[in-house]
Structure 1
């Protein structure tokens, strides 16, 4: 109940200011589990995608978003709750497993789970190599993968900017991808890579982004060393 109240109140503000334009909303299943796999250009991606989807979309978010103090900390906590985020400690070697366990639980309950296959925001607006967690989730749960392209959130909220510029957010959703033909091959790293690459191909076609066959985190690390 709290989620829907917060979504209605804060969502009205987002609609009024950023006027999201979405294509392909009919591709999101009306019921049952599904994985919404999105490219990642901005922190606000996790705000606007749940806003346009009628069903609740659950993302994982850094635990720090839920532990802030003061007025700002309260607002961020309420905002993340309003968009259906779940706090996960992403530090340490168990972070990826914690994220996948959360995803499997959400999907087992017949809900929508949002994931960024790139693992982190694109450092330069290009689409980077996907991590295979999205494939493991799809194969282990039998859930379809719905590719989602955020088209201009990186321009409205560049890295380092706290609040997006005013403008019209654009989102494009593609047909769902069914990987049940590989259900018996869970754990095969070649199959997981092939499934992930198919998801990234769909995102590339939807978004029009140039593709980089490198992990975004590795690129960020190299940039920081330079």
Structure 2
């Protein structure tokens, strides 16, 4: 199954889900603010078990099944991975009550995510569908990407740095979240590796050198302020 078809399926499901039941994080949240990239996973945060039950039951009706519960992948805690493998292979990760990072143990409460989110348009890289969903605001999303710190997350921090982020808001949010210093050092190291720009262009296409360097400097300034 092609990536565009998987993307189309995810956007169609997001269109059907009630906006106030969840907040979108992860790659599809980044797509709300930057050049879109493909993803076959969709990460959503739900306030409580009642909302989690409602959304998981809806996804089961859409052809999904529960693949994992609890500690798996990048997350642990009250976490459900819903998978669809019939006509299209896609995943929905349901994070209930909080986003709890498996590696650092940092927890971001769902209440904080909902407080810092609003309904926005979501587009894909290839699909003509435009969905509306509650999306975490870019400042909190930036910090969440710093915490997980995978290769794709580091690319996302750079792409988010290209938009107008509220640096004061990032600093205030980080007082509560506290991104580990070693994560900041790791990101600064990775973005200065020779192969980083090549990997970025492999996802987004050619990026002008001057634009890349200017955005990288913006990211470094934000990281220095944490």
Identify whether the pair has TM-score above 0.5, normalized to the shorter chain: no
| Higher-strand-fraction structure | 2
Give the number of the structure with larger relative contact order, counting CA–CA contacts within 8 Å between residues 6 or more apart. 1
Give the TM-score normalised by the residue count of structure 1. 0.29
